[in-house]
Amino acid sequence: MAITTTRNNDGINLAINNGDLQAIEEVIEKYHFKDEESLFRFALAALLRSETNGVYIEENNNKIFVQPSEKLLQPREEGQQSTNQVEPPDDSK
């Protein structure tokens, strides 16, 4: 898997290949997105709407709370609580 990011004054450019590109293509096909831009817009909107640091997915008729692993997050400063150690919201209400 490989994603290379290049930043400049105009924004960022992502070069995606190997397994990451294959995963993107599979998601586009599975969900019938019209293109990569549509996929990324949807993913960003879903993450921005989340009130926690994760989202629910449905797998085998079960709702599962997913959140980024520690290795995907910025390093914590000493004494800072992990943003990843969040309990899923209580759905019993």
User: Does residue 59 share a domain with residue 31?
Assistant: no
> Do 44 and 80 sit in the same domain of this protein?
no
Q: Quick: pLDDT tens for 15-68.
A: 999 889 999 999 999 999 999 999 999 999 999 998 888 899 999 999 999 999
Q: What pLDDT shows up at residue 52?
A: 85
Instruction: Look up the pTM and report it.
Output: 0.72
**8 and 27 together in one domain:** yes
Mean pLDDT of the 73-80 span: 76
| Same-domain check for residues 68 and 45 | no
Q: Residue 27's closest CA among 18, 44, 11, 40? A: 40
Task: Give the span between the Cα atoms of 24 and 34, in whole angstroms.
Answer: 12
Residue at a domain's end among 32, 49, 66: 49
Our count of domains for the chain comes to 2
* Domain interval for residue 25: 2-49
Of residues 17 and 79, more confidence is placed in 17
